[in-house]
Amino acid sequence: MNAVIDTLIYALSIYGWIVIAAAIFSWLYAFNVVNSRNQFVSSVGNMLYQLTEPAFRPIRRFMPNLGGIDISPLVVLVIVFFLESFLNSTVRSLFN
């Protein structure tokens, strides 16, 4: 069972890094640091959007409007860190 818990923790960790990459990419895109007409940049942005939007969308529906500031990546990161901690402490102790 430890292998399954470790795999879930690694998957959550990877998703956390994807969320961070998506947030940084959105800032770079918003401030015109990256060329949006470049096909590679566009495909990376589309991939990050496809991977993170299913997690961001429900949070954006319930968050109040903060004047153009999107804190849904921060909320998703907190959820990911909570799940990692929960798996590490509570679930792992149940199976040891």
Mean of pLDDT over the chain? 94
Domain count, the chain: 1
pLDDT of residue 66: 84
Q: What is the dihedral of CA 12, 66, 35, 17, to 10 degrees?
A: -10
> Backbone dihedral region of 83: left (phi > 0), alpha (psi from -120 to 50 degrees) or beta?
alpha
pLDDT of residue 48: 97
Q: Say what the pTM is.
A: 0.91
Averaged over 35-60, what is the pLDDT? 95
pLDDT of residue 1: 85
**Which range marks the domain in which residue 6 is found?**
2-94
pLDDT of residue 36: 86
